[in-house]
Structure 1
Amino acid sequence: MQDYDIALTALHASNGHLERKMEKLHTSTLSLRRELLTLQMHILSFRHEQLVTWQADILTRLIEVMYERQGRKLPWGAVGDDKRREDVSKVYVAAARRIDRRALWAKLGLTTKYHQALGKYAEVVDFRSSDPTRTETTFAQWLVSEKENSPRMYDFWERLYPICYGRSVDESAQVE
């Protein structure tokens, strides 16, 4: 009977030790979950910032292509020799406003929703890259990865890829 009591006491002690370890693991798991949620929020915030840049870049490229197709030149004379970023942005905004909805359809086959996007260009112009082709691949990769989650967004931007970059979203996503 004494051996049984000793074994039972040891079993209770071991059980208590395991319960404390489980509590520590539970606390650690909750802490890791909080940290993971914080990280996910930071990633989403960062992706949102990138998304605005990607959208600004493809719209910048759309403006350039539209002007090329119309045989027009962007009004760089308003900028002068010293092309400051703010001045270049103003030129692009002015150019976007000068693109006619009917011309957008006639030259590129783009519907009113793209003209409306150009109308909102002033809201994103400050986020554009210095080279609108720089973000082609990363935006395409993101669009392809989000195709299932955001099909309308994918469809909207996917239509611009052949026009702005000369290849489909899928082809652009594969560019190294």
Structure 2
Amino acid sequence: MDGVLADWDAAWDAALDVLGEPAATITRSHQRTEWNLNHGLDAAQQQIVADLLNRPGYYADLPAIDGGRAALREMRDEGHDVRIVTSPWVSNPTCASDKLAWVVRHLGQSWGKRTIITNDKTLVRGDYLIDDKPEISGAMAPTWEHVYFDRPTNRTNTTRRRLHRWTNWRTILDHPASA
């Protein structure tokens, strides 16, 4: 959800900017090439990151990514069984409830009922998982094709198909990968 439907990058950058000088040297989203937010940070910077990510309400306030809502509606209207799958930041006491509240507020109650919150996305069955995370692993072999929602942190892998913007979702769902 975050980084795919919710603009985690914009919220991250804005939150760091509000912190001012203490966060000035922490890498902004467009400059990040590493998924690990603590990569290259000293202990004080890592504490700033932890405080930010553990702040109650952080995930509820993420802005929406343009086109996501319309794309989900189009997919559903065209007969696709779409679920929103997201992982909680476990140390944030409100992350899971914030994410569900975000879905309901931005997409509607019906999408809240179609949301799966799990630390292991491999347990979810499906044809595709559109996600920004570079690697997804877990207890099961995925049944889905991992399609990247394009972000600087996943651009080093050029073997996966990627969705650059929601207006192009049909390039993925209407054209399955070659077997």
Normalising by structure 2, we get a TM-score of: 0.27
Of Structure 1 and Structure 2, which has the larger fraction of its residues in strand? 2
TM-score, normalization by structure 1? 0.27
- Higher percent of residues as helix: 1
Q: Larger C-alpha radius of gyration, 1 or 2?
A: 1
